[in-house]
Structure 1
Amino acid sequence: MNNRNRGKNTGDDTLFGSEKQISKLKLAVEDMRYLLSREYPEKAASELVGNRYRLKTRQIQALRGASASDSQLYNRRLKHVETLDLKEKTIYLDGFNVLILLESLLSEAYLFEGLDGCFRDLSGVHGTYKRVNQTLRAVELVAAFHQKNQIQKLVWIFDKPVSNSGRIKQIILEFAEQHQLNWEGDLQYNPDKFLAESSELIISSDAWILDHCKEWFNLIGYLIREEKLPVNPIKMI
């Protein structure tokens, strides 16, 4: 294991660490919701709101992740399932989305709770996935969730074009074998489309997937509550 983690970027404390900045972002999210609900395109709306509140690039990124239109919020709420509905289910998990969010959370990076109740961060995979100090702990948290809720099977879906996706899939499956978990791993060229079109229950916080999938579960929100994770997410509501 190396010394990498997914903690804060230099400058994040300035952008997100004060009440003044958070109040500004909350107002910006309200404006975004208003514009998106009136069918303004997301890019145009975020530029307009970003200029209005003089937001920096990473603040606009957080704003876009936290915002949604009224119809999107209604649709997502309708399709969200509770823990009682998970027993004996097969669940498809958006591998990099979940892993990176948990790694960020465990590295004390800033997390943002959006209007839909989902948590999002500001990291991402840029062509290559690199395992970090928090990767194993992140996998252990998913395992605890699986066992507590008596889930039938968990299928981890990873982006095939991302470098090291095969390696992380192997690590996940080896962990599952050691702990006698019914897990599978699958590499997809277009995992977002695959998850959105699946008839199975989905775990992701990717907005596009949530808008198009059949049903979904908010795993990160669940883990923060259930496992009492030491996280202080920024509420954008």
Structure 2
Amino acid sequence: MKFEERMKALEVPLLDVRFLLDRRYPKDYTINFVSNHYRLIKEDRNVLFRIACEKKLSEERMKKLVSIDFIKGKSVVMDGYNVLITVESLILGYPVFLCDDGVLKDIRAIFHRYRIKKETKESLEKIKTLLSKYLPKEVIFIFDAQISESGKLSALTREIFEEMNTSVLTSKDADYQVKRHKDNVVATSDGNIMDNVRNIVDIPSHVGEEFGYPYYKPTTMRFCLSG
């Protein structure tokens, strides 16, 4: 089945997931229940999990989203692997979705198996090109130290961003370190981080718009009674 056909087939399951989430059913239970009902494969279950979010929580997160213009003169803190992997997915043509909470997410699930590739450099260069246009005061990359190539990736990032005021850090608890910068502008699509910071910029979506990379926009309807 072609990707477009698969996504069309997932519209009703997605609406059912939203229906249950909006009535405060637990997300894991909801995804399993709906996926079992429609006999979905693992990848399609992951798509639903990534896209769907309870309406009130989605609205709270979207209120924190800022435009790319907002970063001028401000500190931008990058949730390193989160942003990089999503931008790579855009470049490689893998499915990337505009999710209910207003940010782009991919479904590759390669975080702990991440390896540097030629698209890594291309992704970092495109992120730099984008940021350079909007003149942030500084850029702070935070990478998870437990990923095997974080040292090499940090060195590559420093090299590419050497002309900008940029710090590149690694941490055994990267999420915690990113959340410590809650008063700055944070680039992430991680829900836990989004819930704990004040201003969020969706760098992958702006890279997509700047360089013409497409991403999938699911239906925004939120109610369905299926048979």
TM-score, normalising length from structure 1? 0.86
Q: Please state if 1:205 is matched with 2:183.
A: no
Q: Is the 8 A contact 1:96 1:125 kept in 2?
A: no
**Deviation of the 1:163 alpha carbon:** 0.8
Query: Which position in structure 2 is the counterpart of 1:221?
Result: 205
Structure 2: 5+ residue stretches without partners: 220-227
**Deviation of the 1:126 alpha carbon:** 4.8
Q: Please state if 1:132 is matched with 2:117.
A: yes
Query: Which position in structure 1 is the counterpart of 2:224?
Result: none
Query: Which position in structure 2 is the counterpart of 1:192?
Result: 175
Q: Please state if 1:236 is matched with 2:215.
A: no
Residue identity over aligned pairs, in percent, reads 24
Q: Distance in 1 between matches of 2:104 and 2:187?
A: 12
Q: Deviations over 1:14-52 (max 9, x none)?
A: 3x6142x21232222222222222221111010011112
Q: Is the 8 A contact 2:17 2:30 kept in 1?
A: yes
Give the partner amino acid of 1:173. Answer: R
Q: Secondary structure at the match of 1:209?
A: helix
Structure 1: 5+ residue stretches without partners: 1-13
Mean Cα deviation higher: 87-96 or 106-115: 106-115
Q: Is the 8 A contact 1:90 1:154 kept in 2?
A: yes
Q: Secondary structure at the match of 1:92?
A: strand
Change (3 A) 1:116 1:127: closer
Q: Distance in 1 between matches of 2:141 and 2:13?
A: 35
Change (3 A) 1:196 1:27: farther
Q: Deviations over 1:158-199 (max 9, x none)?
A: 00111111110011002222xx11111111112123223422
Q: Is the 8 A contact 2:104 2:204 kept in 1?
A: yes
Q: Secondary structure at the match of 1:234?
A: coil
Task: State which of 125, 149, 152 in structure 1 corresponds to 2:137.
Answer: 152
TM-score, normalising length from structure 2? 0.90
Aligned residues: 218
Q: Is the 8 A contact 2:87 2:207 kept in 1?
A: no
Query: Which position in structure 1 is the counterpart of 2:82?
Result: 97
Measured on the aligned residues, the alpha-carbon RMSD in Å equals 1.6
Change (3 A) 1:127 1:115: closer
Q: Is the 8 A contact 1:156 1:186 kept in 2?
A: yes
Q: Is the 8 A contact 1:24 1:53 kept in 2?
A: no
Q: Is the 8 A contact 1:36 1:42 kept in 2?
A: yes
Change (3 A) 1:176 1:126: closer
**Deviation of the 1:212 alpha carbon:** 2.2
Query: Which position in structure 2 is the counterpart of 1:63?
Result: 48
Q: Secondary structure at the match of 1:134?
A: helix
Q: Distance in 1 between matches of 2:4 and 2:155?
A: 41
Query: Which position in structure 2 is the counterpart of 1:169?
Result: 154
Q: Secondary structure at the match of 1:74?
A: helix
Q: Is the 8 A contact 2:142 2:168 kept in 1?
A: yes
Change (3 A) 1:111 1:171: same
Task: State which of 57, 65, 68 in structure 2 corresponds to 1:83.
Answer: 68
Q: Distance in 2 between matches of 1:146 and 1:30?
A: 36
Give the partner amino acid of 2:197. Answer: C
